[in-house]
Amino acid sequence: MTDTAMEAASLGKRFGRRDIWALRGCTFRLPTGRVCAVVGPNGAGKSTLLAIAAGLAAPTEGTIEMLGTPPASARPRVGFVGQDKPLYPQLTIAEMLRLGADLNPGHWDTRTAERIVADGALDTKARIRTLSGGQRTRVALAIAIAKQPELLLLDEPMADLDPMARHEVMGTLMAQAAEYGTTIVMSSHVMADLDGSCDHLLLVSNGSVRLAGDIDELRDAYAVVTGPAESGDGLAPHAVVESRIAGRQLTALVRTAGRPLPERWHADRPSLEELVLAHLRASQTTASISAPAKIEDNAA
Ligand SMILES: Nc1ncnc2c1ncn2[C@@H]1O[C@H](COP(=O)(O)OP(=O)(O)OP(=O)(O)O)[C@@H](O)[C@H]1O
């Protein structure tokens, strides 16, 4: 047994021969038993990372291990739902679930699969090709979860779901994590889906990991500070990730790492969204970072 769900070292992926990298120099470690949000703008490299983790694409350079082994050998212990929700359109839902059972002998929980489908009020006689995007997502999730994986990789699982279905599916995922200790790694653009549900963050931008670690620890290590614009120099000992001036007031995200701030500054613990947005804006104007803003949870 390993306590590491996913570990990458200098991971890189280049598509084609052009010198354009979808991922480059990604080093991080994700412990088991966590619900990890993979966040980043369009084209950041999230899907590429999840496809490599699922064993569906090979890295160009560097290494990645899933549950202590290469992705291909971890596959029986990993459930993956990609953005395109690969299902057989000509099969009915019932036939699709039976196929899932046949492909996962000894690793299949029929009741869970049927419950997740029933929660969406789906008719199991309906053919996959007649389902909406959100209904397909539900069937794909039912299959991935019924496989009883140790690790679930989900690429934007909420994208096609309406707000009520989102809430309900997130509840199913959290129950799975709590009951079986399943590690969940999911990408999303919707911070509201992630805040309060995820306890670990992997922030990817331009193919690099900008921030990684336990969300509570990250929020403790940073502060949103406000104060008079002319006293901005007083922040100098701290790493300023991003700062903005509105009128006479300066607002900044700083990495305090527990060190006290000058008294004239008002400091608040950042929300997950504030942490993410400040790092993303800073990654687009790297000049505004006065010290390395990236902290690793536990760099290998
Ligand atoms: N099969 C491919 N061939 C060539 N380039 C690719 C391929 N797949 C991805 N890319 C490129 O790699 C980069 C990262 O893409 P990726 O799909 O991983 O981003 P993403 O973070 O998942 O984006 P989104 O949030 O829009 O889904 C993009 O520039 C994309 O154009």
Per-domain residue ranges of the chain: 4-206, 216-288
What pLDDT was estimated at residue 109?
A: 92
Residue 88 CB less than 6 A away from ligand 1:
no
Residue nearest atom 7 of ligand 1, based on CA coordinates: 15
CA distance 244 to 229: 9
Whole-number percent of the chain with pLDDT over 70: 93
What pLDDT was estimated at residue 291?
A: 32
Residue 40 CB less than 6 A away from ligand 1:
yes
Q: pTM of the predicted model, to two decimals?
A: 0.89
Atom of ligand 1 nearest to the CA of 204: 21
CA distance 35 to 106: 25
Decide which of 297 and 83 is more confident: 83
Ligand 1 pocket test, pick from 14, 17, 18, 46 with the greatest ligand atom count within 8 Å of Cβ, gives 46
Residue nearest atom 2 of ligand 1, based on CA coordinates: 15
Q: Which CATH superfamily is domain 4-206 in?
A: P-loop containing nucleotide triphosphate hydrolases (3.40.50.300)
Q: How far is the CA of 22 from the centre of ligand 1 (A)?
A: 6
Residue nearest atom 30 of ligand 1, based on CA coordinates: 43
- Which of the four pLDDT bands, split at 50, 70 and 90, describes residue 283? confident
Is pLDDT of 294 > 80?
no
Residue 78 CB less than 6 A away from ligand 1:
no
Residue 42 CB less than 6 A away from ligand 1:
yes
Residue 46 CB less than 6 A away from ligand 1:
yes
Q: Are 211 and 201 in contact (CB under 8 A)?
A: yes
Residue 45 CB less than 6 A away from ligand 1:
yes
CA distance 67 to 177: 16
Residue 12 CB less than 6 A away from ligand 1:
no
- Could you report the predicted ipTM of this complex, rounded to two decimals? 0.97
User: Left if phi > 0, otherwise alpha if psi is -120 to 50, otherwise beta: which for 146?
Assistant: alpha
Residue 22 CB less than 6 A away from ligand 1:
yes
CA distance 258 to 220: 8
pLDDT tens digits, one per residue of 104-118: 888 899 999 999 999
Decide which of 1 and 14 is more confident: 14
Is pLDDT of 169 > 90?
no
Is pLDDT of 263 > 90?
no
CA distance 217 to 261: 18
Q: How far is the CA of 116 from the centre of ligand 1 (A)?
A: 30
Ligand 1 pocket test, pick from 23, 48, 208 with the greatest ligand atom count within 8 Å of Cβ, gives 48
Atom of ligand 1 nearest to the CA of 189: 25
Residue 47 CB less than 6 A away from ligand 1:
yes
State the maximum Cα–Cα separation within the chain, in Å, rounded to a whole number.
Answer: 68
